[in-house]
Amino acid sequence: MSINPAKMLNELFQVAVGAVSADRCLPAFLPSPPKGKTIVIGAGKAAASMAKVVEDNWIGPLSGLVITRYEHGLDLDQIKLVEAGHPVPDEAGAKAADEILGLVTGLGEDDLVLCLISGGGSALLAKPASGITLSDKKQINKALLHSGATISEMNTVRKKLSAIKGGRLAVTAYPAKVVTLLISDVPGDDPAVIASGPTIADHTSMADARNIMEKYDIPLPAAVAQMLQNRGEDAPDPEHPVFQNGKVDIIAKPQDALQAAAKYARKHNIEPIILGDSIEGEAKDVALVHAGIVRQILVHNEPVKTPCVILSGGETTVSVSKDIQNIGRGGRNAEFLLAFAKAIGNEPRVHAIAADTDGIDGTEDNAGAVFGPTTYARAQAQSLDLSDYLQRHDAYSFFDELEDLVKTGPTRTNVNDFRAILILPE
């Protein structure tokens, strides 16, 4: 049996991304047209592709607005599209969020609000709560992104600082029926965490948000500190009728991508093992665990025999210390792979890819990177010190020097990290 490792890894990634694309997943979840108006709203890296699928499959008139990240747009006919800042919110997102609230205000019980939500929506729906500014939100957002906080922790805080998240959008739309279609990018697939749940009841508290900020020692602007000290909970009542009468469907999730890749591997006589779809933790630490499993397979043929592929998803984090000098260009998937490369070294039977399914690893122009048996030796030949690059969180530059970055451009879907480690037989 002959396996082209580079080709196989690329195909596994493409199969995984294709399995969670909007055109493949969304049509079956479309509701019936209402007696009244249909307003389509949404936010996220997949918002444009989701809106396009709605337009292509909807019977009857519709209108609305969706927000996506810059360069993630598509041409739409009936639904307005706005591109805005991500992962740090900007004025375009704040203005569009305000417009969305206006679109769903004053609707009747015969009207339908179709809400299209995917990862990235939290930063894009950037309408600050009363009393704080967009600048305050930007400051907190940047600090959270560098703190090592999980996506669930970040979105708990974001909900408390928002006038639209944490179910507030749904309450504004009442008494219209709200149908929410979600592409999940969060470990555990909790609808309330995806894009900070603009149409989902919020069960977190101000105390939860305060504890998170204290845990990561994040300095607070005065207005934010005052808001988080509010002992009265300002979130909508989870028993509000809009939450009881609405409908929520997760149309694509990380496990779908991993299962599609596993099926493709089996088709090519490669035994897959799925470690999990919700793996969290520091990228470099997760890499060491994966490397340990690889060694177990190489030495003991456990828990599977070769040829095999280890598959995993979730959302790792990268904590950036304030003491590090010359911080480089990162991305959690590239950092995972750099740490993995350091741990595995010149192993001739191991190949790997780590990439974000949205096509953007952090804030860079790559989805991730690839590793192979020659990576370590080529790095040494070019005097690239793996430890130095890893310590400075400069994994992008490391793999760029080796021409091993994976660049796909925006995929317009997002179920977060995808990792595949291919282990060949002796």
- pLDDT score for 142: 87
**pLDDT for 266 beyond 70:** yes
Residues 117 and 142 reside in one and the same domain: yes
- Same domain for 150 and 278? no
Which of 216, 232, 252 terminates a domain? The answer is 252
What's the pTM?
A: 0.93
pLDDT in tens, 40-88: 999 999 999 999 999 999 999 999 999 999 999 999 999 999 999 998 8
Pinpoint the alpha helices (H) of 175-321: 206-215, 222-228, 241-245, 254-267, 283-300
CB 114 within 8 A of CB 59: no
Kindly state whether residues 105 and 226 are assigned to the same domain. Answer: yes
The H or E element containing residue 16 is helix 5-19
> For residue 40, what are the domain limits?
22-252
pLDDT for 293? 98
Please check whether residues 243 and 278 belong to one and the same domain.
Answer: no
**Looking at residue 193, what DSSP letter applies?**
T
The CATH number of residue 265's host domain is 3.40.1480.10
Looking at the 3D structure of the chain, how many domains does it have? 2
pLDDT digits (tens, 9 = 90+) for 167-194: 999 999 999 999 999 999 999 999 999 9
**Three-state DSSP class for 347?**
coil
The verdict on 245 and 317 lying in the same domain is no
Average pLDDT, the chain: 94
Give percent above pLDDT 70 in the chain: 98
Q: Is the pLDDT of residue 335 over 90?
A: yes
Q: Please check the confidence at residue 22 and state whether its pLDDT lies above 70.
A: yes
Instruction: Determine the average pLDDT of the residues in 373-392.
Output: 94
Please write the tens of the pLDDT for every residue from 110-138: 999 999 999 999 999 999 998 899 999 89
146 and 167 inside one domain: yes
Tell me the average pLDDT across 326-350: 93
CA dihedral 369, 374, 376, 380 (to 10 degrees): -120
Same domain, 274 and 313: yes
The last residue of one of the domains, among 191, 221, 252, is 252
Q: How far is CA 410 from CA 49, 59, 187, in A?
A: 11, 29, 21
Q: What is the pLDDT of residue 233?
A: 61
Tens of pLDDT, residue by residue over 311-324, are: 999 999 998 877 77
Q: What is the CATH number of the domain that holds 87?
A: 3.40.50.10180
Residues 220 and 297 in one domain: no
Q: Are residues 248 and 259 in the same domain?
A: no
218 and 341 share one domain: no
**Separation between Cα atoms, residue 46 and residue 67, nearest integer Å:** 9
Residue after which a domain boundary falls, among 231, 252, 273? 252
Most confident of 233-242, 279-288, 312-321: 279-288
* Same domain, residue pair 234 and 371: no
Q: How far apart are CA 250 and CA 381, in angstroms?
A: 47
Q: Are 78 and 62 in contact (CB under 8 A)?
A: yes
pLDDT of 27 reads 98
The per-residue pLDDT for 231 is: 61
Instruction: Note the Cα 273 to chain centre separation in Å.
Output: 23
Q: Two tokens at 353?
A: 């890819």
Q: Are residues 158 and 284 in the same domain?
A: no
Percent of the chain with pLDDT strictly greater than 90: 85
